[in-house]
Amino acid sequence: MTFIQDGKRHNDGYYQLKDWGPFRRDWVEGKKRDIRSYIN
């Protein structure tokens, strides 16, 4: 995951997933709703 600077201030921005790493893409796709509920 990489932080993308998007603004003038130090912490303005967002995170972008660049690499799935040890996670299987199909598992993440199947759990997308759960993952979103945990981080929102």
pLDDT digits (tens, 9 = 90+) for 2-23: 777 776 676 677 777 777 778 8
What global pTM score does this model have?
Answer: 0.41
Within 10 angstroms of residue 7's Cβ, the number of other Cβ atoms is 9
User: Which of the 8 DSSP states describes residue 34?
Assistant: H
Looking at the structure of the chain, the number of domains it has is: 1
* Tokens 């040890």 -> residue: 22
Q: Does residue 26 surpass a pLDDT of 80?
A: yes
Q: Give the Cβ contact number of residue 34 at 10 Å.
A: 8
In 1-40, DSSP assigns E strands to 2-5, 13-16
Enclosing domain of residue 21? 2-39
